[in-house]
Structure 1
Amino acid sequence: GKIFRGDKIMHAQYYGAVGAILYNDPFDFAPFGTSADQVYDQKWYMPPSGTQRGSTYTSNGDPLTPIYPSTEYMYRIDEEEVSAIPKIPAQAIGYSEAQVILQYLQGDNAPTDWSGTLPSVVYRYGGILRDSTDAWNLGAIDPTSGTATLLEVTRVLGDMYSKGFRPRRSLMFCSWGAEEYGLVGSIEYVQEYVKVLGARVVSYLNLDVAVSGNYTIRSTASPLLVDAIIEASKMVPSAYDSPEQTVYDKWKKVRWNNVTNEPIIGNGLGSGSDYLGFDQLAGSSNFDASYTFNPADHGNLGSYPLYHTSYEVFSMVKKFVDPEFQAHRALGQFTGVLALILCETPVLPFNVNRYTTALRQTIDSFKTNDSTMFDLLRSATNDFGIAAEEFVTRSKSMDVKNPYVIRAYNDQLLQLERAFLNPLRQGGAYSDMKHIIYAPAKNNQYASSGFPAIADAISSGDKTEISNQVRIATYFVRGAISTLKEFNKFIAA
């Protein structure tokens, strides 16, 4: 279950399969056994009949109008030209049905990390693709926890507005349709208004699977937002803890990086939710967060076990996830406070030095036999770090009472993230992925990958392609440097 379901079926199609069956193995969704007392509705783990259903579309937006908005006047490609939808049939089933099928499967034994925990089954190769898809049922967690939280944030800020509050920057509240079919609503919106959004949007704060547990908040964002996220976390009480304990205090206990002495906040967003269009097309600096469970208490599950099934109902949330709805409240407060920080602070609370650290960490994470192939990119990153430090130093002597000076500084901050957008995209037909630093790699449409085009080239083993992608990335990092320079000194010496 480690990659997007659509990619699984696409891989099967590529290797000649005539169809695919997908299921949720109890290894991933019922780690403590499949007896009636260990699964829903006695516990929140997947029962034998649990079935996820979902999109296998590997792109986003209307498949007949790739890149462009699906307006009345836009041309459509022929359905036969759509390459992002699998052409083989696929069916999701429960693991009780899968157990019967797998007992008859022939072929070589599958490796250990491809094997689950169904009894009386030897996991083999043979045309069956295992593990999860997603589904569209009542969706008490996905997306209703996000919808409920968004509505509450909207209600509170609306009440503030009725009492005279006027934000320094505009706040827009959006609820998208057709997300499960390939982010259609949000992608089409961004495609149609990308010129305005690309020029004006500061940040997009995403609430989708807002609450899947009551342990702590897990946040992922652009590196520029990390300082603002930490500031917000210090102002919000942690759910189901003592009243004086904040989200930040909880992070100190459960999500702390002892090397940096800071909370663990993920860098870069993937494509699993409606932030994608803002990330990859508009170029704003974006945020996603969820109140989650403790994986150590649940067999190290990667997702809540009833994800996108017909068992994902209100009573399940109240019984197993958030009995007093404190987690919903805490995440709403956290997101609302972050929104206020971003819209009310005269100087945008973006720390450009965070990007230097993120770039270096990503480069160091690449596994190759020849580390010198990244020397050009390392050199550009070092120069970026120098420019970022100079930018921060200049800001300390900035006339914060002069609105024109503040506007010029904020404009530079806005341009930094946008400088990483490649108008030619991440190679080939990868139409929606333009962010050169953070986007999904081609073999997994969900997860974010640092320098994804380089990661894909490394996976291919093509040294020429690796070199080419390193040089392209170097170009964009050096281009980003110019956005941090003084307006009359942006040309390299």
Structure 2
Amino acid sequence: MYSLLFYLALRDAWNLGAIDPTSGTATLLEVTRVLGDMYSKGFRPRRSLMFCSWGAEEYGLVGSIEYVQEYVKVLGARVVSYLNLDVAVSGNYTIRSTASPLLVDAIIEASKMVPSAYDSPEQTVYDKWKKVRWNNVTNEPIIGNGLGSGSDYLGFDQLAGSSNFDASYTFNPADHGNLGSYPLYHTSYEVFSMVKKFVDPEFQAHRALGQFTGVLALILCETPVLPFNVNRYTSALRQTIDSFKTNDSTMFDLLRSATNDFGIAAEEFVARSKSMDVKNPYVIRAYNDQLLQLERAFLNPLGQGGAYSDMK
């Protein structure tokens, strides 16, 4: 029906790369092994799963961008979501995730199914989030909106227009002077013994992240009606506008008005979906097609700048 891409961001490293990118490579290979075993026993996903390992990421996202440029028409029509693993494990505290707002419900669902690393067996990733990554205003986990350009999701985000996700098992910044990244990032000290001794001694964080992203992939490829919540997009747009700093309170009035119109349309869309005939595959297909086009509607049809004007 559609392709779902689950991928490792890169396989090239600045030095020995035990964390960046090998933690992601190891996680990807294990998830691939498990799903391959399921396939050998008869499992067939509703949507196609594609596993990718990109080269030349550190030189400028070359491998993934070249791939998207080559197949942008097909990807723009068929990709449901892109699950990114780059620096997959840099600590053993909790999972930090960033994603399209459409994926938040599916991410929360997956987090409730997976045990948290180095915690009691009954404590899930979601339970850990309630303790350490919780938004008391929304009463939900803290999940970042939007991905930016820091890894191989860029091409899928800005050219194919899919709904994408990135996650990493991280350390507690408060325990380390509020560091933004692990201290040995891109150094020659980033070796296996460092991971084994300091980062993930029992490799529970690798396992938990693999389970979390694997479950999320299965949710996205097995659910007949795509689990995308369009109302989340309205909330994300409003939060973004509210974050802008300006001395002119009227500067974003038109943008706020457009966002309100978007919110009304989103609520009407969700209301219509509740009366949808979920036993009719053609109705489901039409609904899913509309969901897929939401992110694409925000793309510039001429491409991202003059150099890419032929890509749409």
TM-score (norm 1): 0.59
Deviation at 1:335, TM superposition (A): 0.3
Distance 2:289 2:259 in 1: 22
CA contact (8 A) 2:302 2:308 kept: no
Deviation at 1:373, TM superposition (A): 1.8
Secondary structure of 1:218's aligned partner: strand
Distance 1:166 1:279 in 2: 27
Aligned residue number for residue 255 of structure 2: 377
Distance 1:402 1:251 in 2: 37
Q: 1:431 to 1:365 in 2, by over 3 A?
A: farther
Deviation at 1:424, TM superposition (A): 3.8
- Deviation string, structure 1 residues 44-78 (Cα, Å, up to 9, x no partner): xxxxxxxxxxxxxxxxxxxxxxxxxxxxxxxxxxx
CA contact (8 A) 1:280 1:432 kept: no
Distance 1:395 1:279 in 2: 26
Distance 1:313 1:237 in 2: 27
Distance 1:295 1:364 in 2: 26
Deviation at 1:374, TM superposition (A): 1.0
Deviation at 1:425, TM superposition (A): 4.8
Deviation at 1:324, TM superposition (A): 0.1
Aligned residue number for residue 188 of structure 1: 66
CA contact (8 A) 2:81 2:165 kept: yes
Secondary structure of 2:69's aligned partner: helix
CA contact (8 A) 2:100 2:145 kept: yes
- Deviation string, structure 1 residues 61-115 (Cα, Å, up to 9, x no partner): xxxxxxxxxxxxxxxxxxxxxxxxxxxxxxxxxxxxxxxxxxxxxxxxxxxxxxx
Residue 102 (structure 2) pairs with residue 224 (structure 1): yes
Distance 1:333 1:432 in 2: 39
Deviation at 1:235, TM superposition (A): 0.2
Secondary structure of 2:150's aligned partner: coil
Distance 1:430 1:271 in 2: 16
Q: 1:301 to 1:167 in 2, by over 3 A?
A: same
CA contact (8 A) 2:99 2:163 kept: yes
Aligned residue number for residue 414 of structure 1: 292
Deviation at 1:347, TM superposition (A): 0.1
Q: 1:143 to 1:228 in 2, by over 3 A?
A: same
- Deviation string, structure 1 residues 288-346 (Cα, Å, up to 9, x no partner): 00000000111110000000100000000001100000000000000000000000000
Q: 1:338 to 1:272 in 2, by over 3 A?
A: same
- Deviation string, structure 1 residues 101-130 (Cα, Å, up to 9, x no partner): xxxxxxxxxxxxxxxxxxxxxxxxxxxxxx
CA contact (8 A) 1:213 1:321 kept: yes
Distance 1:429 1:188 in 2: 14
Deviation at 1:147, TM superposition (A): 0.2
Deviation at 1:371, TM superposition (A): 1.9
CA contact (8 A) 1:399 1:405 kept: yes
CA contact (8 A) 1:400 1:406 kept: yes
CA contact (8 A) 2:158 2:304 kept: no
Deviation at 1:210, TM superposition (A): 0.3
> 330-339 or 415-424: which moved more?
415-424
Deviation at 1:426, TM superposition (A): 5.7
Deviation at 1:423, TM superposition (A): 2.7
CA contact (8 A) 2:88 2:209 kept: yes
- Deviation string, structure 1 residues 242-300 (Cα, Å, up to 9, x no partner): 00000000000000000000000000001111111100110000000000000011111
CA contact (8 A) 1:146 1:210 kept: yes
Aligned residue number for residue 288 of structure 1: 166
CA contact (8 A) 1:223 1:355 kept: yes
CA contact (8 A) 2:159 2:304 kept: no
- Deviation string, structure 1 residues 156-190 (Cα, Å, up to 9, x no partner): 00000000000000000000011110010000000
Q: 1:430 to 1:298 in 2, by over 3 A?
A: farther
CA contact (8 A) 1:138 1:313 kept: yes
Give the structure with the larger helix fraction.
2
Moved over 2 A (4+): 423-433
Distance 1:432 1:404 in 2: 33
CA contact (8 A) 2:302 2:310 kept: no
CA contact (8 A) 1:216 1:250 kept: yes
Secondary structure of 2:306's aligned partner: coil
Deviation at 1:208, TM superposition (A): 0.8
Distance 1:350 1:285 in 2: 9
Secondary structure of 1:349's aligned partner: coil
Secondary structure of 1:245's aligned partner: coil
Aligned residue number for residue 4 of structure 2: none
> 418-427 or 174-183: which moved more?
418-427
CA contact (8 A) 2:102 2:233 kept: yes
CA contact (8 A) 2:159 2:303 kept: no
Deviation at 1:432, TM superposition (A): 12
CA contact (8 A) 1:281 1:432 kept: no
Distance 2:24 2:149 in 1: 17
- Deviation string, structure 1 residues 433-482 (Cα, Å, up to 9, x no partner): 9xxxxxxxxxxxxxxxxxxxxxxxxxxxxxxxxxxxxxxxxxxxxxxxxx
Secondary structure of 2:163's aligned partner: coil
Higher relative contact order (CA 8 A, sep 6+): 2
Q: 1:432 to 1:145 in 2, by over 3 A?
A: farther
Q: 1:137 to 1:385 in 2, by over 3 A?
A: same
Match of 1:273 among 151, 155, 159: 151
Give the structure with the larger strand fraction.
2
Distance 1:281 1:237 in 2: 35
Cα RMSD over matched residues?
Answer: 1.5
Deviation at 1:370, TM superposition (A): 0.9
TM-score (norm 2): 0.93
User: Which has the higher Rg, Structure 1 or Structure 2?
Assistant: 1
Aligned identity (percent) is 99
